[in-house]
């Protein structure tokens, strides 16, 4: 999963950051993006697309990444701002915030998906990058674990929705809780319930 990084570094770039986000699809909670700069010549066993890993495997990989990566930056956009921007623009803003939060200045960005960022840094968007590129896979894990932990913490404030279980996604349990209790501040009011997220 490292050919992209090797190719970019062969062109003279040294601080290559992978970017991915978690939380595009839920009805509640933030979208969280991570930017990860991997060190040279360090192995990361168990790091893969976060969707291919179990919760336990993600936590183990997250601990490894925290210990060994060169730099991590996080960007978070909350539900209210997602409603204002739409989820696409909110996801890109979260990624831009993640880059800004890095303790170093990357000289190249590898981004999961179709779109690049409005930043003055050379970059490349890679479709299914979390399956092809190690630094993007690392970012996918950091974003997913961080968001899951946020939603678990939110469960303590709003136990009636059971965010610890479904993390804000449109499960039957979550939809029934919305029907019974209404929306809380974490819900994205621009998303139709029970369907693919669509901006109204």
Instruction: Give the span between the Cα atoms of 59 and 44, in whole angstroms.
Output: 13
The owner of tokens 């701002």 is 81
Residue 195's pLDDT band (boundaries 50, 70, 90)? very low
| Band of pLDDT at residue 199, cut at 50, 70 and 90 | very low
User: What percent of the chain has a predicted confidence (pLDDT) above 70?
Assistant: 94
- Please check the confidence at residue 194 and state whether its pLDDT lies above 60: no
Q: Looking at 42-46, 103-107, 162-166, which range is the least confident one?
A: 42-46
The pLDDT, as a whole number, for residue 1 is: 57
The domains located in the chain, with CATH, are 3-181 (3.30.420.10)
pLDDT-based confidence at residue 187 (cuts at 50, 70, 90): very high
Q: pLDDT (tens digit, 9 = 90+) per residue, 73-103?
A: 999 999 999 999 999 999 999 999 999 999 9
Taking residues 142-148, report their average pLDDT: 97
What stretches of 110-194 show up as alpha helix (H) in DSSP?
Answer: 129-132, 134-157, 163-166, 172-181
Q: Report the phi/psi class of residue 36: left, alpha or beta, with left for phi > 0 and alpha for psi in -120 to 50.
A: beta
Average pLDDT of span 143-151: 97
Give dist(CA 1, CA 99) in Å, integer. Answer: 22
The rounded distance, in Å, linking the Cα atoms of 106 and 116 is 15
Helices H / strands E in the chain, number of each:
8, 5
Average confidence score pLDDT of the chain: 92
Indicate if the pLDDT at residue 193 is higher than 50: no
Helix 134-157 vs helix 55-68: crossing angle, to nearest 10: 110
pLDDT of residue 200: 30
pLDDT for the residue 166: 96
pLDDT at 20 over 50: yes
In terms of Cα–Cα distance, which of 3, 11, 2, 1 is closest to 122?
Answer: 11
Query: Cα dist. 101→35, 76, 108, 124, 144 in Å?
Result: 8, 11, 15, 20, 17
Residue 197 pLDDT > 90: no
The predicted pLDDT at position 198 comes to: 39
Q: Which backbone phi and psi does 30 adopt, to 5 degrees?
A: -80, 170
Map residue 124 onto helix, strand or coil.
strand
């Amino acid at each position: 999963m490292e050919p992209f990084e090797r190719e970019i570094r062969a062109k003279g770039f040294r601080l290559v950051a992978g970017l991915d986000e978690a939380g595009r699809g839920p009805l509640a909670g933030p979208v969280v993006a991570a930017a990860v700069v991997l060190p040279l010549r360090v192995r990361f066993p168990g790091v893969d697309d976060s969707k291919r890993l179990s919760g336990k495997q993600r936590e183990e990989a997250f601990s490894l990444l925290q210990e060994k990566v060169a730099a991590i930056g996080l960007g978070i956009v909350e539900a209210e701002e997602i409603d204002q921007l739409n989820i696409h623009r909110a996801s890109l803003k979260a990624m831009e915030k993640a880059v800004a939060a890095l303790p170093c200045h990357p000289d190249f960005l590898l981004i999961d998906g179709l779109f690049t960022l409005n930043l003055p840094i050379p970059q490349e968007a890679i479709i299914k990058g979390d399956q092809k590129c190690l630094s993007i896979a690392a970012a996918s894990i950091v974003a997913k674990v961080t968001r899951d932990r946020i939603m678990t913490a939110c469960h303590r404030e709003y136990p009636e929705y059971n965010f610890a279980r479904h993390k804000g996604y449109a499960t039957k349990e979550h939809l029934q809780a919305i029907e019974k209790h209404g929306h809380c501040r974490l819900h994205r009011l621009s998303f139709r319930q029970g369907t693919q997220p669509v901006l109204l």
